[in-house]
Amino acid sequence: MDIRARIQRFFTPPTHLSNEQQRYFVLLTVACSTAFLAHALYLLLFYWMGLDVLIIQSIIALFVWAFAMWLGRNGHSQVSIAIAGIEFAIYAALGTYLIGWNSGVHYILFGAAVGILVSYKQTQLKAFWAGILSIEYILLYFTAEKIVWPGNLAVLHGFWLANVITAFGITFLLFWYQANLVINAEQAMNKAIAQSEALLNNVLPSVIANRLKQTEVIIADSFPDVSILFADIVNFTPLSQSMTATEVVELLDDLFSRIDVLVHKHKLEKIKTIGDAYMVAAGVPVRRSDHAEAIIAFAIDLQSALIAYNHETGRSLQFRIGINSGPVVAGVIGKLRFLYDLWGDSVNTASRMESHGIPNEIQVTEETRNLLIGKYTFEDRGIIDVKGKGQMRTYLLCT
């Protein structure tokens, strides 16, 4: 593995961590690594300047930052942040008192404050650390000498510049990292919203989904003119008993997916599937005057699609198709799982047209047939006894 890959792996959080843990993993790894390298460089500088106390402090700091990094990478982010804050405060105090205010070491407190404000979520902890660092800054300002180290002023000025770059560089990186987090969070939120809306539109008609998103509490509408179709696979129950569970689901998924395409083509509304039955309506949730023509055209295409399916798969499935037209009530039920459904005698009658139908035939009620006179030809099936309805005259579409 090359060096670049090792570095990338070092800063990449494990996938099993939560999003919050991954954020702290990256933040603390970057911060602790930067602080570790900075103290290693300062150690050499303090050795050259002959500052024994700061040499010892820097050696200890190397172990402290390595330990803080280990804590942060292993889920103990809050402890790691606290250790980082303490180390920054100690370094700022020692450096300012032993070198002088003009060394610029106190600027590191700004980086520490920003890091803590960015890292901690608890307001109380943010306020506590803001108070501690502010008090330290004020004490240093009023008690520290401007220049303590007796060496070359040019070196002192260079050290001041290095501290300014380090402190404000850390501040900039933290703000940049936080800004990226906000941008990424917004992108993730927008993506999640888009996915939620896509799922909602898959479950509900888009018109209804939009009304639901506008916090409409109860969605219920009356439609005076709607056509409803039920299609059921003939003898599917005994057929499914000779198939595995996977085969049953694959068959229904393939067939019903083809029907979904036809629903979209004819601009109808799929209401639901009930076992091996498929329910579709025309005229809801958007009213249309040609609902009967649309549903009968769909039924004809449905028969053709089944013929194509049988030809492709070698099966010999048959549909019973029943259609009725009339008034319905439509609405959304459920809180955890939404369902857009239709109710009324027109729905029950359409279901009876299917259950009392003939395989490979499209059976319609007199109400639907009257809407299609002059547009389609029907064969009078005569009077049949319909469960729950009694005697009814029904018609078969001539194709």
Domain match, 193 and 211 both: no
> Is a pLDDT exceeding 60 seen at residue 77?
yes
Q: Where are the beta strands (DSSP E) in the chain?
A: 220-233, 269-274, 277-282, 319-333, 339-343, 361-365, 378-386, 390-397
Q: pLDDT per residue over 241-252, tens digit each?
A: 999 999 999 999
How far apart are the C-alpha atoms of 160 and 381, rounded to whole Å? 100
What is the enclosing helix (H) or strand (E) of 205? Answer: none
Domain match, 192 and 231 both: no
Domain match, 263 and 143 both: no
> Is a pLDDT exceeding 70 seen at residue 1?
no
> Is a pLDDT exceeding 80 seen at residue 173?
no
Q: What positions carry a catalytic annotation?
A: 352, 387
Q: Which of 216, 371, 214 is nearest to 289 (CA)?
A: 371
First to last CA, the chain: 70
Domain match, 228 and 368 both: yes
- 3-class SS shares of the chain: helix, strand, coil, % to 5: 65, 20, 20
How far apart are the C-alpha atoms of 80 and 60, rounded to whole Å? 16
As given in the structure block, the two tokens for residue 229 are 């179709």
How far apart are the C-alpha atoms of 248 and 225, rounded to whole Å? 36
Q: Which of 263, 257, 281, 262 is nearest to 271 (CA)?
A: 281
Domain match, 187 and 219 both: no
Domain match, 156 and 213 both: no
How far apart are the C-alpha atoms of 28 and 177, rounded to whole Å? 12
Q: pLDDT per residue over 125-164, tens digit each?
A: 888 888 888 999 999 999 989 888 888 888 888 888 888 8
Question: Which of 197, 229, 263 finishes a domain?
Answer: 197
Q: How much is the pLDDT for 24?
A: 78
Domain match, 104 and 210 both: no
Cβ-proximal residues to 35 (8 Å cutoff; 6+ apart), any chain: 61, 65, 84, 87
Q: How much is the pLDDT for 291?
A: 96
Q: How much is the pLDDT for 216?
A: 63
Q: How much is the pLDDT for 28?
A: 80
What total number of domains does the chain contain? 2
As given in the structure block, the two tokens for residue 308 are 């194509």
Domain match, 30 and 124 both: yes
Q: Which of 82, 96, 86 is nearest to 53 (CA)?
A: 96
Kindly calculate the radius of gyration of the chain based on its CA atoms and give it in whole angstroms.
37
Average pLDDT (183-208) is 78
- Domain, as residue range, for 30: 3-197
**Across the strands, what pairs with 98?**
none
pTM score of the predicted model: 0.60
How far apart are the C-alpha atoms of 332 and 342, rounded to whole Å? 9
> Is a pLDDT exceeding 70 seen at residue 196?
yes
Question: Which of 197, 230, 256 finishes a domain?
Answer: 197
> Is a pLDDT exceeding 70 seen at residue 285?
yes
Domain match, 173 and 232 both: no
Q: How much is the pLDDT for 249?
A: 94
How far apart are the C-alpha atoms of 239 and 358, rounded to whole Å? 18
Question: Which of 149, 165, 197 finishes a domain?
Answer: 197
| Mean pLDDT rounded to a whole number for the chain | 88
Domain match, 234 and 366 both: yes
Q: How much is the pLDDT for 355?
A: 93
How far apart are the C-alpha atoms of 368 and 225, rounded to whole Å? 10
Which CATH number does the domain housing residue 378 bear?
Answer: 3.30.70.1230
Domain match, 103 and 135 both: yes
The total of other beta-carbon atoms located within 10 Å of residue 313's CB is 12
| pLDDT band, residue 82 (cuts 50/70/90) | confident
Q: How much is the pLDDT for 175?
A: 76
Domain match, 211 and 353 both: yes
